[in-house]
Amino acid sequence: KIYLGIIFFLMYLPVAVVIIFSFNESKLPVRLTGFSFQWYEKLFADSAMMEALVNSLILGVASCAVSAVIGTLGAVGLSRLHWKTKGALEYISILPLMIPEIILGMVLMAFFYMLNLRFGMLTLLIGHTVFCIPYILMEVKARLVGMDPSLEEAARDLGATSMRAFLDVTLPLIMPAVASGSLLAFAMSMDDVVISFFVTGTTSNTLPLQVYSMLKMGVTPEVNALCTLMLLVVFGAIGVFYLLSSLRRKAR
């Protein structure tokens, strides 16, 4: 218990410090001088920060939606292949996870430049989709390995087409894996700095890049306020999930 207490203390102490200093009256994160909501007021009045937050949310949702479709279909396709090169294809499909982000960002930048694509939200969407797909693909592939193939075969025996059997049998069974992979991909998209730095344009900015650019002039407690609000949303979502799960268990 002491060991676990030390681990949780070290993990959540920085989070607690960020939350506490988001209500600090002083701009310097050295000592507490008083309780104030001024940094939350300045956060909502900061148009650049709000625009970057909206861009990150739109980019995260859009890249996860596209990645969910491509990753799910890719995992289903790989599970039905019986080629000798299947193992090599599986390794190739997760290469974006193994390649250092700085190399992947430079490659994407050069690729978009060759295609004469204007750097902006489109290039950001493509770049984020590239490294989001493997997260969903691995989750769905692991779920398909543990799924009984006779379920879809039974649907085919009862007259269902391949598409119908996939939509009515396979897809509902792999949806939890799709959802968990999408949430992980969304978190990685919201957190990305390196790839976004290489493929963004002058007219688009994401939240991590906005915070990174603030380091040159000094990070104000506005960032602490933003982190606190994001943590509140995450904890609220987790609380709602556990509440719905407990209600579902009681209903059974």
CB of 147 within 8 A of CB of 80? no
Query: Is the model's pLDDT at 87 over the cut of 80?
Result: no
pLDDT at 67: 93
DSSP 131-176: HHHHHHHHHHHHHHHTS-THHHHHHHHTT--HHHHIIIIIHHHHHH
In 3D, which of 249, 243, 240, 230 has the Cα closest to residue 57?
230
How far is the C-alpha of 79 from the C-alpha of 148, rounded, in Å?
12
Asked whether the predicted pLDDT for residue 221 surpasses 90, the reply is: no
Vertex 83 angle, CA 79 and 88, to 5°: 80
Residue 47 pLDDT > 90: no
Half-sphere CA count of 136, side-chain side, radius 13 A: 30
Top pLDDT among 242 and 108 is at 108
Query: 97 pLDDT exceeds 90?
Result: no
Please check the confidence at residue 30 and state whether its pLDDT lies above 70: no
Please write the tens of the pLDDT for every residue from 137-182: 999 988 888 887 788 888 888 888 888 888 888 888 889 899 889 9
Q: Give the model's confidence band at 31: pLDDT under 50 very low, under 70 low, under 90 confident, else very high.
A: confident
Q: Is the pLDDT of residue 17 over 90?
A: no
- pLDDT of 166: 85
Q: pTM for this structure?
A: 0.81
